[in-house]
Structure formats: structure tokens, C-alpha cells
Amino acid sequence: MVDRTPRTSTTREATGRKKGWRRPSTLPTPSPQDGYKFRWIRTATLGNADTPNVSSRFREGYVPVKASDFPELHVMSDVDSRFKGNIEVGGLLLCKIPVEVAQDRVEGQLELAHNQLEAVDNNYLRESDPRMPVLKPERSTRTSFGKG
């Protein structure tokens, strides 16, 4: 007897490999929200509170995320947490920031880095002598892959 079942009735999923076990992520990922970016902020290192880091991030615009807003994360917060009702895992606190504020922060950091490079170049070129000029350093980055 020949099996006469049409090929369209058999699916790849039914005959696919069994998915193996994978270690769950230590830090859960919240479902995205329009207009916000999420970030884990350090609240403690080796059991010692890192208050300056937390207050600095709060001044930048980060706000702690309430555990009640993300029940799907199923996280048990740290026992000695100073942030009750929020999501804190292993000395890291889940916070969110409006996308516009985050973009302004990135642009500000890029401008600061540009100004620092310019200052280094000006200091370097200050030593230039017309009899033997120093060339302005060429700044470029590229990635190349060798053949092994």
C-alpha cells in the first residue's frame, strides 16, 4: 500500500526537531512600550549600596518601573530592596526613560566626546612648527577580518 496523504497536509513544524532546554535569562526583558526605553541600573555592588549611581540616573530622567505594570516578568525582588514595589534583581533596578530624553542624552555625550577629541588635536597641533609641520591625525575606525 502506498501512503496517499497530500504533501500539503504534512507540516514542517510537526516533523521538526524538539527544542532543547535553554537557561533562562538572569534579567528579564520587559515588553516594549511606545515612547520609552528600558535600562537596568546598578543599585548595589557586592552588597554595598551604590547611591551616587542611582541618584545620578534619576537626575538624568530614569524612573523605576513598578512590578504591578509588568506582571509577566515574574520576578522576586531582592530581599533587602530599598525600592519596594519595583523590579530589582541582583542589585539592578529596572528603569525607564522617555525616548526623547534618551536621545538628547546620547547626542550630548557625542558632542562631549567630539569636543574632547578636538581639544586633544588642538593641543597636539599647538606644537607644530612651520619649518616642520605636524600633520593632523586622521581619525577613522574600521573592522577587518583575517583569514585563519
Question: How would you classify the pairing of strands 88-89 and 63-64?
Answer: unpaired
The band of 55, judged by pLDDT with boundaries at 50, 70 and 90, is: very high
> Quick one: pLDDT at residue 7?
67
Assess whether pLDDT exceeds 90 at residue 21.
no
Q: Which residues pair with 63 in a beta bridge?
A: 96
For the chain, give the mean pLDDT: 80
Over residues 75-86, mean pLDDT = 73
Assess whether pLDDT exceeds 70 at residue 9.
no
> Quick one: pLDDT at residue 42?
93
Question: How would you classify the pairing of strands 63-64 and 44-45?
Answer: unpaired
Question: What are the domain boundaries of the chain?
Answer: 36-98
Assess whether pLDDT exceeds 90 at residue 90.
no
pTM of the full structure: 0.62
Rounded CA-CA distance 55/106 in Å is 19
Over residues 26-54, mean pLDDT = 87
Alpha-helical (H) ranges within the chain are 12-15, 51-60, 99-125
> Quick one: pLDDT at residue 148?
55
